[in-house]
Structure 1
């Protein structure tokens, strides 16, 4: 496996070669304002070829942040990233400490290469091998979610193999609002203590560096909604699991012109003060990445994608925007958007 992880020295050197990109800084590394997302697309080799081409182009032209999940495209997205990273790092075109990789687990995945859809993967891999039990499943309609540490231990090892990485930079619990809907707040936060304790152990073993929550609705709905998750309670839970020096440092949620709750809805409460999720994250020392800048393509039909991207990337409090880019021409266009707007702003 590829050793190491993203750090300030490596990422700083990366952006010294790509000085036209307005990099964003955390205490641990720097990232591009857009990240290459790998959610959309078919589970085919044809789309894998497209992704590998776009990944190679992105990593050599100023995008050093890649976002994925074990369930994306039946595990193909993680495997495609692993192939590209292995080729580029072994070929000295890229260093491990220059790039940030985030992935996710929590939803039941399928494995297209093993010809297993999620229902079969659940039965033949997860249940058969006693990785989880039926009682661990939290089911809402067709979606199945788990909070059981044994599942994350298994999924993390699978992701590390797929990505060929010794250490994953950011590891998200994926859409935990599904479990919240089933368990209710009291049980949900109690279950998270065990999961956070496991993730802290994974940090100590250098399997991951940081962890967080990647959600769809959890941080955007009203506090009386069954999917609602309080960021303040999440941080309290992390402190119960690991003290004040815990490694829960990132959250992810959708943000675009159709879903603008993050800047207008004061649905989070920190120290008794109602705040938006962006303000609450800042107050609690949490870094925000956002998804779906084009609302899964719905906004592009009527609006200029470069303006949409500029609006999101320049919103205060957002570290980086996860942007689906299966095609190399989309990478070029989105890079062009952020460099063009930077030049305009400097004039």
Structure 2
């Protein structure tokens, strides 16, 4: 296992070698775009591309990797871990230079064990006694949990995949699924227990910071089912751990078709209605964004990758943008865009 974690000095020193404007926080400094690992097939061909791409990105100025236990049937985490172990062992990068975020909460599958998510839920999680049926919150085909015992299992599994003793940012993945099932009162009650668990994980050195990675939860109107309040979530973190809490990051989609995160004033903070990105800033939370190309649906004759990525990364308050990319040619193109931002 690789010891250590991303540090302010380590990430700043790494990025000082490159020309683009970087994003600073008290915790670490990030490249404006991060290597996203969501898209792709669950096969060796795409794993080879991801391993080549992540290595190229890390050696050429992208010091932020975003993944999740459920991405590509666990292959994405394993691919990232393979590269990290290889590059750090060779001395090509240092652990303190690289920010790694991953996620849990959505029931994953495991392609290597030939288990789709429903089988993984039954054979590993339920029959293994990790969670109970009552812990599973279901909306359509989505299965989500808030049970701390699941996250203990998921964090340990992600640590093994990534070969990391400490995960820099650990997100609860799409918590709006559980919110839709449980409703606010029960959701926030369960969240308080989970945040207590996460703060203990920080003390144990398994994670450094934690947050929410959402799709629509922060973007809905306050009266809509599944709406998540940044202020209420932060209040829970403060009740659990005071001002020294480690809930520091949120993630949400931002692109030309999904721009509510900067346009809609649906989040209350300090008595004012603000946009998601404004409210997060007001409350001391850092915003990372996803899906800058709207999962590939945003391309048309008026919009190309350069203009869309430039617009998102230039948006005030965006700490880093998660860009799904596995081919070296696309990573090169996106790095060239950064040089003009």
TM-score normalized by structure 2?
0.99
In the alignment, the residues of structure 2 paired with residue 262 and residue 10 of structure 1 have an alpha-carbon distance, to the nearest angstrom, of 31
- Paired with 1:122 and 1:11, the residues of 2 have a C-alpha distance of 37
Match of 1:315 in 2: 315
Question: Aligned equivalents of 1:8 and 1:270: distance in 2?
Answer: 28
Aligned counterpart, 1:59: 58
C-alpha distance in 1 between matches for 2:21 and 2:163: 29
The alpha carbon displacement at 1:300 in A equals 2.1
Residue in structure 2 matched with residue 269 of structure 1 by the alignment? 268
1:326 maps to 326
Equivalenced residue count is 340
Corresponding residue for residue 186 of structure 2 = 187
* Counterpart in the other structure of 2:151: 152
Counterparts of 1:272 and 1:172 in 2: how far apart (Å)?
27
Aligned to 1:287: 286
Question: How many Å apart are 1:264 and its aligned residue?
Answer: 1.1
Q: How does 1:236-255 map to 2 (within 5 A)?
A: 236-255=235-254
* Structure 1 residues 1-347: aligned runs within 5 Å: 1-18=1-18, 20-302=19-301, 303-339=303-339, 341-342=340-341
The secondary structure found in structure 2 opposite 1:244 is: helix
Post-superposition Cα deviations, 1:196-230, rounded to whole Å, max 9, x if no partner, equal: 00000000011000000000001101011111000
Where has structure 1 moved over 3 Å in runs of 4 or more?
Answer: none
Q: Quick one: distance in 1 between partners of 2:178 and 2:103?
A: 15
Ranges in structure 2 where 5+ consecutive residues have no aligned partner = none
Deviations 1:171-213 (A, max 9, x none): 0000000000000001100100000000000000110000000
Deviation at 1:145, TM superposition (A): 0.3
Cα-to-partner distance string for 1:60-94 (whole Å, 9 max, x where unaligned): 00000000000000000000000000000000000
CA distance in 1, matches of 2:93, 2:131: 38
For residues 17 and 262 of structure 2, the distance between their equivalents in structure 1, rounded to whole angstroms, comes to: 33
Q: Provide the rounded CA distance (Å) in 2 between the counterparts of 1:177 and 1:103.
A: 17
- Report the Cα distance in structure 1 between the residues aligned to 2:278 and 2:216, rounded to whole angstroms: 17
Partner deviation per Cα, 1:105-145 (whole Å, 9 max, x = no partner): 00000000010000110011000111000000000010000
Displacement, 1:146?
Answer: 0.2
Structure 1 unaligned regions, length at least 5: 343-347
Please give the TM-score of this superposition, normalised by the length of structure 1: 0.97
Distance 1:44 1:268 in 2: 40
User: Partners of 1:171 and 1:2 in 2: how far apart?
Assistant: 17
Offset at residue 240 of structure 1 (A): 1.4
SS at match of 1:181: helix
* Cα distance in 2, alignment partners of residues 180 and 35 from structure 1: 28
CA distance in 2 between partners of 1:56 and 1:7 (Å): 20
How far does the alpha carbon of each residue in 1:9-59 deviate from its partner, in whole angstroms, 9 at most, with x for none? 1112101222x1221111011000000000000000000000001001000
